[in-house]
Structure 1
Amino acid sequence: RDGNKPIVFSVTCLERYQSDIVDEFLRKFSSRVAQTTSINSQTTHLITNDDKHTLRSPLSMKLIEAIANHCFCVSYRWLIDCIKYDRIVDESAYEIEGDDTDYHSQGGPKRSRSIDKRQSLFENICFMIKCTENNEIKMTNDRLQDLITTCGGRIITCVTQGLLDQFEIVVLCDKLYVSERRHNYDQCRSLGIHFVSSDWVLESILEYRPKSFSLYEETPL
């Protein structure tokens, strides 16, 4: 990493005492470090809490947004060592391998960070968002849309032959949505349109590679 490049970081899932470490880090390196409340294209680092499981972060919307934006996702212990050694130390030893559920394969943050072609995860996919919002991780449909476009996907409101010829079409929805449209579900499937839950987007980003659609398919009741 370029040693002189400014560090713009955001934090997620920190305990009170860890937030105090963040404040000390900001004071000590104030000339080249800044903090933002949300993740955006300027953010370079996400600081998280890996006390429960070393180099694994609790699952949060910010973790997903940070991976989508190719940020360096690191343990708060990186800050402790920067303060201790009085310089910005190399962060690769502190890089988070993934979230702390045992559900996802690891290495997504690093895969995202080291990819040559930025914002290309969903580059050949068009999405229609028809799902209800996920309050569990505070994911509104606006944030879902931002994640998709950050990863190179397109948002569409209707399917045309031209789009079908050029792109993979994914409808993000729930079981109720496909059940209410049972009459043309089979026809849409035969055209190659995928009906999947929004978890497909989140988990593809977490691992930073497209997951198999079949695991997330929504079928009529």
Structure 2
Amino acid sequence: MTEYQHDRRMKKHMKRQKNNSDISQIESCGNDLIELTKEQVKAALTSLFIIQKQNRTVGSRKRRRDKNLDRSLETQTKKQKQIYSNIILSDITQAETIVLAASGLNKKQMKQVKKFVLIFNCHLLLLDEKTTFNQSITHLITDEIDTNDSLVCTLTKNVVFAIVQHCFVLSYRWIIECLQQNSIVNEEQYEIEGDNIFSTKHNGPRRSRLSKRPLMPLNHFMMIKGDSRHFLDFTNSELGDLAWLAGSIYIEQNRFPNTVFSRQCFLLIEDADVRNKNMFHRCIDKGLKFLRSEWLIRSIVEYRMANIVQYHCDPFDTIDRSE
């Protein structure tokens, strides 16, 4: 063995011993537990991460609490959009609760109505196909056709129901005047006097409100028939409600009952729904009056019995209207 080979073998042996000693040191370190103090742990973490300390003043904490409070209020109110700000509530106490409904108003006008409700602590009933006019409503707010304080409104179903139930039917200007004065002003000078179909000055709403009495006599029996839409797009059931609210006896069956007192029987039907000419004339001979639904609606709107002659249902053009 040469000297070179001997030196090379010795170096390999020494290197092997060194590696074994390193492994034994690692194993011995792994078996020992190293305990660190809290200060050492904090110092180690500080060296690894940059801790940014937030200096919160009293004002910032207050703003944070207010922000959390606003969020909780939004959650309670289902995050409704805030419409009005700086509203001063009126301290006026009403003798009775005002329940409003609207007819023919645009979005801007409805916004003012909602503001009125908030200020004067009233109620607003939004009417749609599922929510019909009911007896809890005290004031119906309507549009006004002309700008010169005409007190003439667009005739709608809600207007008809409001009149038959003796409610205030008021121009939208009443809402504006109350908001300007921050007080509930007298309603009478804003009460609707006419409509865009029958008459511009019949004073039906006031006549109904002041009388508080049913329009129809008790001996008036009324039946509603037909598949067609009636005047103002009323349905059969809605006309039946109107007939009952107006004071007549509403008959849902197909036959008028016998009575010991004299009676008048009315069948509200449109011309297109009368098809049996012989039956039509036999009923007329027995005293049954075939009338178009417009007769009932006009009687309610003007709150006086309309002349039945011009509203006779006569699809066969055989009735003399010269009475």
| TM-score, with structure 2 as normaliser | 0.62
**Whole-Å separation in 2 of the counterparts to 1:201 and 1:136:** 10
Structure 2 distance, partners of 1:45, 1:176, is: 37
Alignment map for 1:59-208 (pairs within 5 Å): 59-101=155-197, 103=199, 106-117=202-213, 119-121=214-216, 123-134=218-229, 137-156=232-251, 157-160=253-256, 162-163=258-259, 165-178=261-274, 180-208=275-303
* Distance in 2 (alpha carbons) for counterparts of 1:115 and 1:26: 28
Aligned residue for 1:40, secondary structure, equals: coil
In the alignment, structure 1 segments of 5+ residues that lack a partner are none
Pick from 140, 144, 169 the counterpart of residue 46 of structure 1.
140
Report what 2:7 is aligned to: none
Q: Percent identity?
A: 30
2:108 pairs with 1:10: no
Deviations along 1:10-58, whole A, 9 cap, x unmatched? 000001211111011011112xx11112421111110001143620110
Query: Does the C-alpha gap of structure 1 residues 175 and 209 become closer, same or farther in structure 2, counting only changes over 3 Å?
Result: same
Bigger RCO (CA 8 Å, 6+ sep): 1
1:204 partner letter? S
Aligned partner letter, 1:84: Q
CA offsets per residue over residues 156-197 of structure 1, 9 Å max, x none?
22344624953210011122433x222132332222210011
* Shift in CA distance, 46/122, structure 1 to aligned 2, threshold 3 Å: farther
**Alignment counterpart, residue 36 of structure 1, candidates 125, 133, 138:** 125
- Deviation at 1:218? 1.1
CA contact (8 A) 1:169 1:192 kept: yes
Contact preservation (8 Å) 1:131, 1:197: no
Partner Cα distance (2:177, 2:201) in 1? 28
Alpha-carbon distance change, 35 to 122 in structure 1, aligned in 2, over 3 angstroms: farther
- CA offset at residue 3 of structure 1? 4.8
Query: Which residue pairs with 1:218 in the alignment?
Result: 313
5+ residue gaps in structure 2? Answer: 1-92, 127-131, 317-323
- The alignment partner of 1:27 has SS state of helix
Structure showing greater Rg: 2
- 1:216 shift after superposition: 0.6
CA distance 1:135–1:129, shift in 2 (3 Å): closer
1:181/1:104 CA distance change after superposition, 3 Å:
farther
Question: Quick check: 2:218–2:248 contact (8 Å CA) kept in 1?
Answer: yes
CA contact (8 A) 1:133 1:141 kept: no
Cα contact 2:215–2:304 (8 A) shared by 1: no
Q: Which has the higher strand share?
A: 1
Q: 1 CA distance for matches of 2:158 and 2:298?
A: 13
Normalised to the residue count of structure 1, the TM-score between the two structures is 0.88
**Any idea what SS the aligned residue of 1:149 has?**
helix
